[in-house]
A and B are shown apart, each in its own frame.
Chain A
Amino acid sequence: MTAIDPTAHLTAEQIEELGRELDAIRDEVIADRGEKDAAYIRKVISVQRTLELASRGVLLFSIFPPAWLLGTAGLSVAKIMDNMEIGHNVLHGQWDWMRDPKIHSTTWEWDHVSPSEQWKHSHNELHHTYTNVIGKDNDLGYGIMRVDEDQKWHPFHLGQPLWNFINACFFEYGIAAYDLELGKNLHKRRRKDPEFRARAKAVGRKIRKQVLKDYVIHPLLSGPSFLTTLAATFTANVVRNLWSHSVIMCGHFPEGVQVFERRSIKGETRGQWYLRQMMGSANISGSKAMHFMTGNLSHQIEHHLFPDLPSNRYAEVAVKVRALFQKYELEYVTGPLPKQVFSAWHKVFRLSLPNKKPKVKTPDREQELVAA
């Protein structure tokens, strides 16, 4: 949809060949997956649990400012680990191959107000299958923002930087609402739909439990540190939300990332699907610690190509994937976090204003293949 199609130089055969090469990369990791990987995730889980427990312990004394600082920082990191490197990836089925019922996509529940069952549907199924397809992938702008020049402008979009910021602060609630497709379902009769009601109830239950734990039970346990513990937990939740929102924005919003039209994916081949994932995602460059704290979503491109490979393998896969980008002369969108966050926010601001419709339109993939 961007003025110039960055994949126009590839023939249909090349795209299929690219698909085969990516399949080979995947097979290699799968054949090699084993004990070390299992030990990795177990270690991460136990570190996360220990850190959370220790931080909550320190917060019992959060009436003392240094304890407050330490506990809040620890809890923020623990929550980020729970959501990113552990929760997101376990729920993708990345660790299902271990056959450990406790670390499995069908049983995992995370420290997040969206119940994992619902999140798996909207994220794994809708977002990952229809990545960046306007009208199909609701992650694009979360239904509240305009993310492409071709989308119709509405005065509502003037406020989108503000909407986006509020969404960032309360991101987990945004996600829950979004998993429920609240916008769509609050209309008309849909509210009465028993299936929707059951799902809304499940979200309500989860929110109640989470809120009770963070804002009632743990503060109460802290006795005289009631208020400071409450403030600490609130802060940790907001820090986690801002962080995950930033990381996720960097995955598909920065300049240079392509979006696709609904009809362009009709009859899509495996190679074309891969190509869409490649062009529709962006990475964040940085240190090992940085990759870890983003749940390896800094390797968003690799994650979108192989959402079920263990996250600890994305770094090594990235080297090979990047070589393929080069070979096929495609742009590998990546950059350090501040640059990517700025780029994504810049787009949010830019598209809050109306623009002229671009004159040249990307030829439809189907037509293009016929031509080739």
Chain B
Amino acid sequence: MTSTALRSRAWKLLEMVTTPLLPSDYLDLVRPLRTGADLRGRIEAVHPETRDAATVVIRPGRGWRGHTAGQYVRIGVDVDGVRLWRAYSLTSPANRQDGRVTITVKAIPDGKVSNHLVRRAKPGTLIQLDQATGDFVLPQAKPAKVLYLTAGSGITPVMGMLRDTELDDVVMVHCAPQPQDVIFRDELHGLVADKKLRLTEVHTDTDGMLDIARLDELVPDWTERETWACGPAGLLDAAEEHWTEQGIQERLHTERFRPGIVVAGDGGEVTFSATGKTVDADGATPLLDIGEEAGVLMPSGCRMGICFGCVTPLKAGAIRDLRTGEITEAEPGVLIQTCVSAAAGPCDIER
């Protein structure tokens, strides 16, 4: 018998010992970051960067497969007891010796997770992790001339690149409201002093928004540069248009942070994605009734919110709890009780 077969035999036996739980349920008590566990990380430190941004140092579990500079990671954080998932760019170089990684988070107004991480997260806390992903990365062959065009927290994936790969000729144009809002400002100026970077800061509170046409003046040779741009949609739209006009759109690489803002309304179009049906719903009729009327097979029980026999994944959009008025927005893994929920705007129910 091969050793893997032996291993899986042994594991089966162990499962018989721990049933109805799994051996991992017990191992998690003592070694949550071990090989073979669900991927998690432990927050080891939180360093403030600006008045509303902080860098979170995370020790990933043994299953972490590493990342490439510029990629992002989804993390699941418990905020007020509720697990919420968000994606953040990795700001640490890929080859950090101590095996830790960092993300740098800017607290956005009303952002539950970002405010929690910047202001309340404590070292020692366990978080959930996904493997790093994303193709906003440098190519294998180092480009001769590079432009990084960033705004606000759009600097985070680029910082990962700057720290990871030294390039011969790098220019950066970065926008932030005021000098003190520039994340990593000291480090950037250090790179400038060492002649490793040419930097232009645009302070939008005083200079106004960056007019993309000003690039000619800020970076005269921008058309010759391989460009990585990250920031708000307006900036990226303008850049894409500008590069396309010059016919060099393949030189521009952009990373868009998901909009993620759901506007909760009253009723809306409900999609039952497994069945492929779409119907209009008002803001007062339970989604269970809406689905049944549309001929969708809906699981149900008490029809009054107590048995949890109707829970169904909410894939997109927002719903309102008819009892409390509370709004729930779609996120991976969010299940709703269709018998006491109504559409709060367009939504997608997996049935």
Contact = CB atoms under 8 A, between A and B. Distances in A.
Given A38-B78, A96-B335, A99-B333, A120 B16 contact: no
Interface stretch (B205-213, B239-247, B266-274, B304-312): B304-312
A105 interface: yes
A287 interface: no
B81 A38 contact: yes
A190 interface: no
B302 interface: yes
B28 to A, nearest CB: 9
Name A's interface SS: helix
A109 interface: yes
A170 interface: no
B81 A37 contact: yes
B19 A209 contact: yes
A162 interface: no
B323 interface: yes
B309 A125 contact: yes
B308 A98 contact: no
B19 A98 contact: no
Interface string B321-339: 0011010000101110000
Contact of A96 (B29, B304, B311): B311
Contacts, number: 103
Nearest to B321: A30
Contacts of B18: 213
Interface residues of A, number: 49
Contacts of A25: none
Contacts of B331: 99
Interface string B296-324: 00000110111111010000000000011
A97 B82 contact: yes
A240 interface: no
Interface size class of B (residues with CB under 8 A): 20 to 34
Nearest to B300: A125
Nearest to B337: A93
A49 B26 contact: yes
Nearest to B17: A217
Interface in A120-159: 120-121, 124-125, 128-129
B98 interface: no
Interface string A1-26: 00000000000000000000001001
A252 interface: no
A308 B306 contact: yes
Given A50-B29, A106-B335, A121 B84 contact: no
A100 interface: yes
A128 B83 contact: no
A35 interface: yes
Contacts of A36: 81
A230 B335 CA distance: 41
B237 interface: no
Nearest to A206: B20
Interface of B: 16-21, 25-26, 29, 78, 80-84, 301-302, 304-309, 311, 323-324, 326, 331, 333-335
Interface of A: 23, 26-27, 30-31, 33-39, 46, 49-50, 53, 92-93, 96-102, 104-106, 109-111, 120-121, 124-125, 128-129, 206, 209-210, 212-213, 217-218, 221, 270, 273, 307-308
9 contacts: A33-B81, A34-B81, A49-B21, A96-B308, A98-B82, A99-B331, A124-B306, A210-B19, A213-B18
